[in-house]
Amino acid sequence: MAVLVGKKAPLFEADAVINGGEFVEKFSLEQYIGKKHVVFFFYPLDFTFVCPTELLAFQEKLEEFEKRNVAVVGCSIDSKFSHWAWLNTEVNKGGIKGVKYPLVADLSKTISENYDVLAGEYEYTEDGEMDFEGDPVAFRGLFLIDKQGVVRHQVVNDLPLGRSIDEAIRIVDALQYFEEVGEVCPANWKQGDAGMKATADGVADYLGKNY
């Protein structure tokens, strides 16, 4: 599994569905560089079980991300037509109607490969034919990308393990606090807590007050 933290986020152009039902060609994260932080997350498949709980949870917290000037973008290996159908299916029928943030269609699986979240890999058989070993869907990867297009945080869950949206918000807050104040964020830091200076004296002062 590649560690992308500290590196430029892989860019792409792909079909996407935005605003709950509008098709867009050549959607790219590049549009946010210099303007917004981005939470870019992968999920395995449309019309599954854990996935709608995550996508709906992101939508429920979308206002919190927007208040922080953060764009939320989802991605799976489904087609734009599958995304559209799922977005137009009622929640009580397994759909995600009401989700408004962009969903990217990674039908070629190249985006998932570039972010190294594809649950398997291509290999050559003894006959020289290419075959896929594993499950050709994306793990539950999440990447926080700053305004310079650099990945500052990543977490990857296995397929059965849903993510904490509140934790994603906490990490956004921590990054923005560091960017604005210049102090680092200790363990379990949350918005409103004190940070600490990245010096020996700063650490000693923080520990003396909190432990």
The string of pLDDT tens digits covering residues 114-152 is: 999 999 877 777 777 777 777 889 999 999 999 999 999
Average pLDDT over residues 42-63: 97
Query: Which stretches of the chain are DSSP H helices?
Result: 50-60, 62-67, 80-87, 110-114, 165-181, 200-210
pTM score: 0.93
Domains of the chain as residue ranges with CATH: 14-163 (3.40.30.10), 165-174+185-211 (no CATH)
* Residue 1 pLDDT class (50, 70, 90 cuts): low
Residue 51 catalytic? yes
Catalytic residue among 51, 144, 151, 196: 51
Tokens 């006959």: give the residue. 127
